[in-house]
Structure 1
Amino acid sequence: MSKQVAVQSLTATATGKDKTRAMFAAIFMFVMLGVAIIWWHWGLLRHDLVAMILLFVLVFAGIVPSSRAFIGFSHPAVIMLVSAFIISRSFQESGIFDYLGERLDRMSSDPLNLILVLSLIAMVSSAFLSSYITVMLLMPVALHLSGKRGIHASRVLLPVAFSAILGSTITMIGSVPNIFVSCLQPGCLGIFTFAPTNLPIALIGVLFLGLVAGHLLHKSNRKDKRDEDINIEDYITEVKVLKESRLAGSTLRRIMQNADYEVTVIALVREKLKMDVIDPDEELLPDDILIIEADSANLKTFMNYTNAKLMGGRKFRKDLTGARNISMREVVVLKDSILAGKTAAGINIRSRFGINLLAISRGQRQSIHRLAKSKIKRGDVLLIQGRTQILDEVTHAMGCMALKPRGIKEKDALRATLSIVALTAALILMGLKVVSPPFALASAALLLALCRTVSPYELMRSIDWSLVILLAAMIPVGEAFRSSGAAEILVNAFSGIGAHAPLWLRLGILMGFSMLLSNIIHNVPATILMAAIALQMAAGNIADSRIFLTGVALSCTANFMSVERQPVNTLVKSAGGYQNLDYIKVGLVLQILVLVLGVVMLAVIK
């Protein structure tokens, strides 16, 4: 009898220790997730670096087994994501969207028709390609078509960007949340599993964007012309170096670094020969002519200080040897650009790329002031000047995109055909369940790589490794979120309405929190954490788990209000002249619409 009591006592002690250990694991998980969310929200560190730090801390704390720390890098969702990047890049190089632009050029000039057609193209394309690539390729086309019709860019770009986000909810490969959620089901979900629910929502959203969104934008965005646009030609002047001038014997470096004035030297003319790439330590000679960019105040200070002579205007520049080979171009800074986060002076943009930076446009502001010291951000529109024959190469090397259609290249027809055939074959294989979705997409990506539709160099650049690492690192964290009991604690906290509330209410609460979290942090960790909660809420019910997971994927993908955490929004902000308030006003209404329609389609109609 005493032995039995002792055994029961030991068992109770062990159970108590297990509960204490489990409680510690859950509390530690909440604390670390809280710290990570703060870092993600404030952008203190890169998203993928925060995820890796979180993963390593949980491994050292014994919450994530070390044997499963890197299981995410071989996860089917990661394989599908990498393959989707390669396929999207192949379409990017094919020129398909430029071809569509030429066909759309014959459309009527009605603004509504243009907005709806471009939005529908964006929606359909982003269902199979990256939404960022889709918007990036449609931007030049949209700007060209709207400009020819006298339609302000802001009326077109935001509907196109939001339609691309809506379109990415339609298929399994449209967005990272869809890819991840589909892989939580045995054998992965079908390619069009999300379509019956999300396609009607996307179509209604496109109609809303075409008919209503324009009325919610800031008034200045609805004008046909922005009054604040700067004519750069009005700020470019030629000055001659006289013998008695302080410029004689000085260098370009000294001129640019003088604190008394702020000018940008665009070119040096010596003996009728125009030099656009100048050695900063080149000594200026009498009779040299400097082509400078400056506003009236700085120009006056510069002239008074240097005793230089003001020369003739634009006709003089056009008559110079080599001047006809110089042109200006507007480019947008992409998310993986080497310029992002740096200054023109810090990256030596003139000597490194052989171009001049004339202006930076950010939101509704365009500036020519303090360009060398201004930090360039993703989505900024830059006005650059350089030799016409190198501008395409330089734009690509800087990680930027020209805001004009590039035209159709002869080799694009073959690339387009191969890209369409490879993607279609992969979709058919997935639809017929001949092979698994990861294998089908990887095969398509491999085929395109072997056919050189994407060069070996571009193959690696086409993959957003930051997003890949973020997803791979968060997958074991998501598993630990459930296994530690943290997800169960959150679900139990709402147990007052959990088990007794109707399905539509539970789904609505889950989708609402998913939308809120994806607007605060990146949608990848938001999806993984909310998916763990969704599975816990389903409590083993397969039907409910599919409904909840679909709702999470839809909510985390439909992130419209955030600019910094939604690359598509960042991309169009400066080109469209949007304010943050524009995203909030239009995005909030659209997110509420998606939430209501999502609950109706998933929980009521089923």
Structure 2
Amino acid sequence: MWITLGILIASAIFFVNGKVRSDLVALCALAALLIFQILTPEEALSGFSNSVVIMMIGLFVVGGAIFQTGLAKTISSRLLRFAGNSEARLFLLVILVTSAIGAFVSNTGTVALMLPIVVSLAVSANISPSRLLMPLAFASSMGGMMTLIGTPPNLVINDTLISAGHEGLSFFSFLPVGIVCVAVGIIVLMPLSKLFLSKGKKKEASRMGKSLQELVREYGLSNNLFRLQVKEDSGLLGKTIIELDIRRKYGLNILEVRRGDLSKHKFLKTITQKLADTDTQLAAGDILYVTGNFENAERFGREYRLGLLDGHTSEETNGNALDFYDIGIAEIVMMSTSSLTNHTIKEAGFRDKFNVNVLGIRRKHDYILKDLGNEHIHSGDVLLVQGTWNNIARLSREEDHWVVLGQPLDEAAKVTLDYKAPVAAAIMLLMVAMMVFDFIPVAPVTSVIIAALLMVLTGCFRNVEAAYKTINWESVVLIAAMLPMSQALEKTGVSALVSSSLAQGLGSYGPFALMAGIYFTTSLLTMFISNTATAVLLAPIALESASQIGASPVPFLFAVAVGASMCFASPFSTPPNALVMPAGQYTFIDYIKVGLPLQLAMGIVMIFVLPLLFPF
């Protein structure tokens, strides 16, 4: 028993100290439990197969897809209209929306759903995401108190009541308690989040320093870029790019060919971008991106029966004249030592060697966009190049000639596959439906696994590696390694000793003192073991304690449910707390500063409110 307590206390000290990574601390604690044979290897490793941990991994993937498809940005921009420019309204909006969803969806699922949306909201409103993410996690737990299915401890106390022969609780028996929780949360969190979560942690600026759309505007690409669509009766059908000889005949350059799949199902549509290779054979529906003057583009389109698309209408989404999916753009600065100096762009062989196009040259304050093939390269020139993201990244290896500004593969990861947003939305709604409706015989963890797989299989990620990169393994390992600690505390009798001695010792002081003891014992234990395990452990004790003093067990069992669910002072007490930890860049001490005062305030209020709602 004492060894288990010692390991737990040492872990807590290291967590608070923050100098050692939290996942490493958790693994060391797990190893210590194994070394002292407190847990068997099977028990120690059970956390890694726990459904909560598997759900976390799946939810990271689902959240990443919501980001990658631009769905988060779309939803957040609509929510932002309600908040306007007021940070207080935005804070309230996040709390209220999250609480409402959390009443019907698991708190883990709620956070996974809202996290990418809230990050987009914060960025759009020019607020540090850390100001909103911890309140988001806490709001999901508070919302879970509104319904019977909102959080597992609610189901635990209902089962305890029914097993003891009492009448069960209705679906909305918890609603008044949940409303009080949300009200207390708003009052306490608003000042605390401003005081302790306003560090303004900034992301490192990339070497590029310019977004893709900023580059498009700077070089004026949209001004001389035109899109022509190959029709069913076009004279280009079956022809290759080299056969057209478009540069000589019309003074135009074909930059790329945008090709959608030929399926009639727009919902599942996929867009493929490819550079205009000389042997690219054109097909109906292809969209050619060409540069040159408008008159020549119009003449080319007229002679070959092509549709000239309006520059303000995108072929698939919301309409920038130049979208980026598989193909991107970047700037490279020519070195003074480069052997390409004084050679023309054509002689430099960018297309032949690296399969990239040169779209423009920035020379001091001038921008050169026409007749680039015959333009000589000067030392210090900045070339705007276009190609697949991998080919642009390859340019970084030629350091003797140029320096690539920014990190192309990082930029590619930021590009949203916005034509997949409807797919991501449908999968997300399917996941929520499977979690909410009982007539769908699918466990929550299964619904998350299905949703994560569908996100990958339907192309909401660029590739499988992109999906893996969305998983924060530190949080996953932290939770998986700490879950067996609850087994160790139960196995060695620590949990039973603490809970029973506190609850029974306070019974002689009356129902309020007993309720306070049960509530804060539950709250304390939940900081170290899962809230469900704590509820299972303390619900029978609360029931027995109430019967011993002749009081109704309902308020005491509610004290267990609220105490187990309203645990905010630790990042690993509930999955939502752990989920927001990496995104908000929080440390253990941040949870102490913000979560502990809220947890104490919630306890004090509940001790007085619960007997009013459910009399002794």
TM-score for the superposition, normalised by structure 1: 0.52
Confirm or deny that 1:213 pairs with 2:191: yes
Confirm or deny that 1:417 pairs with 2:421: no
Opposite residue 534 of structure 1, the aligned amino acid is L
Confirm or deny that 1:556 pairs with 2:556: no
| Gapped regions of structure 1 (runs ≥ 5) | 1-25, 148-152, 234-273, 288-313, 327-350, 356-384
The answer for the alignment partner of 1:50 in structure 2 is 25
The answer for the alignment partner of 2:328 in structure 1 is none
Distance 1:276 1:477 in 2: 55
Equivalent residue in structure 1 for 2:64, among 86, 89, 92: 89
Q: CA deviation at 1:49?
A: 3.6
Report if aligned partners of 2:11, 2:29 keep a CA contact under 8 Å in 1. yes
- For the residue of structure 2 that corresponds to 1:170, the secondary structure is helix
Distance 1:601 1:446 in 2: 44
Q: CA deviation at 1:507?
A: 4.9
The answer for the alignment partner of 1:470 in structure 2 is 478
**Given the superposition, is the C-alpha separation of residues 601 and 317 from structure 1 closer, same or farther in structure 2, using an over 3 Å criterion?**
farther
Confirm or deny that 1:142 pairs with 2:150: no
Report if aligned partners of 1:94, 1:415 keep a CA contact under 8 Å in 2. yes
Q: 1:295-315, CA deviations, whole angstroms, 9 ceiling, x for partnerless residues?
A: xxxxxxxxxxxxxxxxxxx99
Distance 2:156 2:62 in 1: 20
Distance 1:221 1:208 in 2: 17
Q: CA deviation at 1:31?
A: 2.1
Distance 1:505 1:464 in 2: 42
Q: How does 1:325-336 map to 2 (within 5 A)?
A: none
Equivalent residue in structure 1 for 2:603, among 586, 595, 599: 595
Q: 1:382-438, CA deviations, whole angstroms, 9 ceiling, x for partnerless residues?
A: xxx9747x65x41576xxxx7xxx778122122212221233133214xx4734444
In the alignment of these two chains, the number of paired residues is: 424
**Given the superposition, is the C-alpha separation of residues 137 and 589 from structure 1 closer, same or farther in structure 2, using an over 3 Å criterion?**
same
The answer for the alignment partner of 1:365 in structure 2 is none
**Given the superposition, is the C-alpha separation of residues 88 and 102 from structure 1 closer, same or farther in structure 2, using an over 3 Å criterion?**
closer
Q: 1:96-144, CA deviations, whole angstroms, 9 ceiling, x for partnerless residues?
A: 3211233346555555444433443455567464637734542343342
Q: CA deviation at 1:208?
A: 2.9
Report if aligned partners of 2:542, 2:556 keep a CA contact under 8 Å in 1. yes
- For the residue of structure 2 that corresponds to 1:64, the secondary structure is coil
Distance 1:214 1:57 in 2: 36
Q: How does 1:192-341 map to 2 (within 5 A)?
A: 196=175, 199-201=178-180, 203-205=182-184, 207-208=186-187, 213=191, 217=195, 275-276=332-333, 316=364, 321-322=381-382
Q: How does 1:350-429 map to 2 (within 5 A)?
A: 387=405, 393-394=409-410, 409-429=418-438
**Given the superposition, is the C-alpha separation of residues 53 and 130 from structure 1 closer, same or farther in structure 2, using an over 3 Å criterion?**
farther
Distance 2:395 2:188 in 1: 40
Report if aligned partners of 2:499, 2:521 keep a CA contact under 8 Å in 1. no
Report if aligned partners of 1:498, 1:506 keep a CA contact under 8 Å in 2. yes
Confirm or deny that 1:28 pairs with 2:3: yes
The answer for the alignment partner of 1:117 in structure 2 is 93
Confirm or deny that 1:167 pairs with 2:140: yes
Report if aligned partners of 2:69, 2:419 keep a CA contact under 8 Å in 1. no
**Given the superposition, is the C-alpha separation of residues 91 and 503 from structure 1 closer, same or farther in structure 2, using an over 3 Å criterion?**
farther
Opposite residue 415 of structure 1, the aligned amino acid is A
Distance 2:478 2:172 in 1: 25
The answer for the alignment partner of 1:63 in structure 2 is 38
Report if aligned partners of 1:59, 1:65 keep a CA contact under 8 Å in 2. yes
Q: How does 1:435-584 map to 2 (within 5 A)?
A: 435-454=442-461, 455-491=463-499, 493-494=501-502, 497-501=505-509, 505-509=513-517, 511-512=519-520, 525=529, 527=531, 534=538, 537-538=541-542, 547=558, 549-557=560-568, 568=580, 571=583
Equivalent residue in structure 2 for 1:75, among 15, 29, 50: 50
**Given the superposition, is the C-alpha separation of residues 353 and 416 from structure 1 closer, same or farther in structure 2, using an over 3 Å criterion?**
farther
Equivalent residue in structure 1 for 2:441, among 425, 428, 434: 434
Q: CA deviation at 1:162?
A: 1.2
Report if aligned partners of 2:334, 2:382 keep a CA contact under 8 Å in 1. no
**Given the superposition, is the C-alpha separation of residues 284 and 186 from structure 1 closer, same or farther in structure 2, using an over 3 Å criterion?**
farther
Distance 1:54 1:481 in 2: 13
Distance 2:481 2:585 in 1: 30
**Given the superposition, is the C-alpha separation of residues 567 and 160 from structure 1 closer, same or farther in structure 2, using an over 3 Å criterion?**
closer
The answer for the alignment partner of 1:244 in structure 2 is none
Q: CA deviation at 1:47?
A: 3.2
Report if aligned partners of 2:45, 2:484 keep a CA contact under 8 Å in 1. yes
Distance 2:383 2:97 in 1: 40
Whose radius of gyration is greater, 1 or 2?
A: 2
Report if aligned partners of 2:71, 2:418 keep a CA contact under 8 Å in 1. no
Distance 2:601 2:474 in 1: 31
The answer for the alignment partner of 1:158 in structure 2 is 131
Opposite residue 411 of structure 1, the aligned amino acid is K
**Given the superposition, is the C-alpha separation of residues 452 and 558 from structure 1 closer, same or farther in structure 2, using an over 3 Å criterion?**
farther
- For the residue of structure 2 that corresponds to 1:500, the secondary structure is helix
Report if aligned partners of 1:482, 1:488 keep a CA contact under 8 Å in 2. yes
Distance 1:31 1:217 in 2: 33
The alignment-based identity, stated in percent, is 18
- For the residue of structure 2 that corresponds to 1:54, the secondary structure is helix
**Given the superposition, is the C-alpha separation of residues 88 and 72 from structure 1 closer, same or farther in structure 2, using an over 3 Å criterion?**
same
Q: CA deviation at 1:325?
A: 7.7
Report if aligned partners of 1:59, 1:66 keep a CA contact under 8 Å in 2. yes
Opposite residue 441 of structure 2, the aligned amino acid is V
Equivalent residue in structure 1 for 2:12, among 37, 49, 65: 37
The answer for the alignment partner of 1:101 in structure 2 is 76
Opposite residue 434 of structure 1, the aligned amino acid is P
Distance 2:157 2:20 in 1: 29
Distance 1:215 1:590 in 2: 11
Q: 1:25-81, CA deviations, whole angstroms, 9 ceiling, x for partnerless residues?
A: x12222222222223332354433433333343344343244533333333433444
Distance 1:84 1:214 in 2: 28
| Gapped regions of structure 2 (runs ≥ 5) | 161-167, 209-330, 342-361, 368-379, 387-392, 398-402, 546-552
- Compute the RMSD of aligned alpha carbons: 5.7
**Given the superposition, is the C-alpha separation of residues 499 and 509 from structure 1 closer, same or farther in structure 2, using an over 3 Å criterion?**
closer
